[in-house]
């Protein structure tokens, strides 16, 4: 890190500056016990959005970090992939997420754009998997449905709802907002899965109790 061209920042500042001031290496990010930290990624070949949220046992989410990796300083596309890998690796080391969620590649009209997007996504996945993190994938429609309530929502609607859900007053950059939306989608999916498991466990115990009573009779 430390390179002004890397382009990863908290809102408008550089990630290196944000890490030095808010998250120095000697003081890892503060988090409440019992929370799960989720890194959301919105992959792109020009900008890759990243967003981090904490989710507690009740499913409540708290904003931790958001940024956009600006890749346009590198004309050489392989160097952009290297930048994605290195910046996401450093972000993981700085914020220590527990899980990662990433948006699936959509079928673009331009085959070259779709290929580059897929490669950017692959670089991002490799960066986090190399740190031993599990990755969940969500389609753009699933993300919009989870955050806005409709799979056909526009980007500005996603930005607005993410800001409301996470109490972020400043206008969010589009790629960062999408990344936070992906993280929120995963948080909602985790909470739903936990409720289903809890319900299934209760049903199993109830069936066991009924069987025991019948045997007693």
Catalytic annotation on 142?
Answer: no
d(C-alpha 132, C-alpha 205), whole Å = 35
> What is the 3-state secondary structure of 49-107?
EEEEEEECCCCCEEEEEEEEEECCCCCCHHHHHHHHHHHHHHHHHHHCCCEEEEECCCC
CA angle 40, 75, 49 (to 5 degrees): 10
Pair 147, 165: CB distance under 8 Å: yes
Q: Quick check: is 175 catalytic? A: yes
| Catalytic site residue from 54, 87, 99, 175 | 175
Considering the candidates 90, 99, 103, 178, report the single residue annotated as catalytic. Answer: 103
- Please report where in the chains the tokens 């109790």 appear, as a residue: 209
How far apart CA 28 and CA 19 sit, in angstroms, is 10
User: Which of the residues 17, 42, 154, 169 is marked catalytic?
Assistant: 42
Provide the annotated active-site residues: 42, 103, 175
């Amino acid at each position: 890190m430390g390179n002004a061209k890397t382009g990863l920042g908290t809102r408008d500042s550089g990630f290196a500056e944000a890490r030095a001031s808010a998250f120095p290496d000697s003081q890892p990010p503060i988090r409440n016990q019992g929370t799960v930290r989720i890194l959301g990624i919105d992959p792109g070949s020009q900008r890759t959005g990243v967003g981090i949220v904490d989710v507690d046992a009740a499913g409540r989410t708290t904003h931790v970090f958001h940024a956009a990796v600006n890749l346009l300083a590198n004309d050489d596309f392989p160097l952009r992939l290297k930048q994605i890998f290195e910046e996401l690796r450093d972000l993981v080391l700085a914020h220590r997420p527990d899980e990662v969620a990433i948006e699936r590649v959509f079928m673009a009209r331009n085959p070259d754009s779709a290929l580059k997007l897929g490669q950017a996504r692959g670089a991002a996945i490799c960066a986090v998997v190399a740190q031993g993190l599990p990755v969940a994938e969500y389609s753009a429609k699933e993300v919009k449905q989870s955050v806005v309530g409709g799979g056909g929502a526009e980007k500005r609607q996603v930005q607005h709802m993410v800001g409301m859900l996470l109490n972020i007053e400043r206008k969010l950059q589009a790629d960062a907002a999408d990344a936070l939306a992906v993280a929120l989608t995963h948080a909602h999916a985790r909470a739903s899965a936990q409720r289903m498991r809890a319900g299934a466990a209760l049903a199993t115990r109830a069936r066991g109790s009924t069987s025991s009573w019948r045997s007693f009779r």
